[in-house]
Amino acid sequence: MTGSNKDTPPPAWLAQNNGFQPIQQDDLESTTTSTPMTDSQRGVMLVHWVIKLVSIFFCGLMMATAIIGIEYITDIDSTEKLFVAIYLIFFALLLFLQELSEIKKMERLEFFFRRNFGFMYNILGKALFIVFIAFLCFGLGDPVALTYSTGFGLAIFGALQVGLYLKYPEYFEVNPWDPNAVHNGSSSTASASALGKPSPK
C-alpha cells in the first residue's frame, strides 16, 4: 500500500499553479533582507522624517497655545475664544494621531483616518488644513505673542509643504515601513513578484 501511494500522481488542483511561480528559498530571503540605501534615498528619507517631526512639534505647540489661551479668557464675552481653543486642541490631536498612524503602523487607526479624514493623506489637503489651523490661532488672540507666533509658523509650514511637494514630490512618497521603497514603491513590487503574486499596476 505504501508503494502504491508513492506512484499515485498528485491531484490536478495541486499540480496547477494558476500562472503563479512557486516561492523559492532565495526569493524569500531576498524579500526579508533589506538592500543598502543609496545617498539619494537617505536624503529623501531624512527630509521625510524632518517634516514629520516638525509637524508633531507644531501639534504640541498648538495644544500649549490653546491651553494657555483658555487661561486668558476672563469674561463671558470671550466665550467664542473658548470654542476656538477647543477646536484648536481637537485639530492638534487629530493631526498628531494622523502623523502617528503614518510613523507607526496601526491598521485600525489608519482605516479610521482614511475613511473619515481622507484629505489628510493628500499632501495638498493636509497643507491647506494646517493653514486653516493657523487662522484659528490668530482668532484665539491672547497671549498675542504666542498665538501669532504659532499661527505664522503653521502658515509658513503649510505653504512650504505645498512648494516642496510641487518641486520634490518624492519626499512625500516614502513608505516608512519599507525604507527601500522610497521611489514609487519599487520594493513592494519586487516583493510581490518574489512571493508569486502579480505586481501591482
Listed by start position, the domains of the chain span: 37-190
Query: Over the stretch 85-136, which tens digit does the pLDDT of each residue have?
Result: 999 999 999 999 988 888 877 788 888 888 888 888 888 889 999 999 999 8
Q: State yes or no: pLDDT of 193 exceeds 50.
A: no
pTM of the model: 0.64
Query: How confident is the model at residue 105, as a pLDDT?
Result: 76
Contacts of 186 (CB under 8 A, 6+ apart): 180
Residue 133 or 9, more confident: 133
Lowest mean pLDDT among 34-38, 174-178, 180-184: 180-184
Return the SS3 of 60. Answer: helix
Contact indicator for 31, 195 with CB cutoff of 8 Å: yes
Region 138-152 average pLDDT: 88
pLDDT of residue 129: 92
